Amino acid sequence: MKRRSFFQILLCSSIASRFLPSSVVATEPPVAQQGLPRLSEGGPFSLPPLPFAPNALEPYIDAQTMTLHHDKHHAAYVNNLNKAIAPYPDLQKKSLGELLGNLDAVPAEIRTTVRNNAGGHSNHSTLWKTLSNPGKKPEGKLAKEIDDTFGSYEKWKDEMSKCAMGIFGSGWAWFGRGKDGKLFIEPFPNQDSPLMTGRTPIYGIDVWEHAYYLKHQNRRVDYVKTCIENIASFS
């Protein structure tokens, strides 16, 4: 092996290690070290396919990041959720909304695992759908509601940016609709989901480093701007 190739591999390994921390709470779930698990490993929940090609969002999100994000990180949430609820037939019959909306009904020994991984599965499943038509601005009733709630679409963008940039560590900035029908923008730590309080997510910005680090490194502000200006979709 040439000396240059060795150091390139060493550098890539160092960067990749940032995305796979070992602790359970507020960190990534363990992912497969070989292969890209495109399907779940068995259980009631399965990994939805990307509704677009991995390179469809370039130059804003690169194909490598999208492939790792979906095929490894999202797949790991699905597989870990299925493993956690495997001994509990009643839980296997519940939807993500039912699991997350009533975590007190989940046995204490798996509650944190279900919260993290059901949340991760739900958050990412919504994310892929909202990226299917990048740059599509809100129209009709939703556009009017945004104007009424936030003042204008430009002010909505400002609020989303502040929310995403204000998250310490990992989490999501979610725009959604509450049970009262009103729109909200709110930060959620780790993989917590609006479904935990019976609310409906509409568009989210994932600020876990795995979502942007290969392209943007530590420049979260550039990534957030890209999410808001170039790939936010309301189709």
E strands of 26-65, at which residues? none
* 229 vs 5, residue with greater confidence: 229
Count of CB atoms within 10 A of residue 198's CB? Answer: 12
Q: Give the closest residue to 118 by CA, choosing from 148, 159, 88.
A: 88
pLDDT of amino acid 137: 87
Query: Tell me: the pLDDT tens digits for 85-137?
Result: 999 999 999 999 999 999 999 999 999 999 999 999 999 999 999 888 787 88
pLDDT at 235: 56
pLDDT above 80 (res 40): no
The mean predicted confidence, pLDDT, of the chain is: 86
Homologous superfamily of 59-235 in CATH?
A: Iron/manganese superoxide dismutase, C-terminal domain (3.55.40.20)
Confidence of residue 7 (pLDDT cuts 50, 70, 90): very low
pLDDT-derived band at 219 (thresholds 50, 70, 90) equals: confident
| Domain map (residue ranges) of the chain | 59-235
Going by pLDDT thresholds of 50, 70 and 90, the confidence category of residue 216 is confident
Percent of the chain past pLDDT 90, that is, above it, reads 71
Alpha-carbon distance of 235 to 226, in angstroms, equals: 18
Distances (CA, A) of 101 to 11, 108, 115, 118: 42, 15, 10, 11
In this prediction, residues 207-225 reach a mean pLDDT of 90
Q: Find all residues with CB under 8 Å of 183, minimum gap 6, and list them.
A: 145, 146, 149, 150, 175, 176, 177, 202
25 or 75: which carries more pLDDT confidence? 75
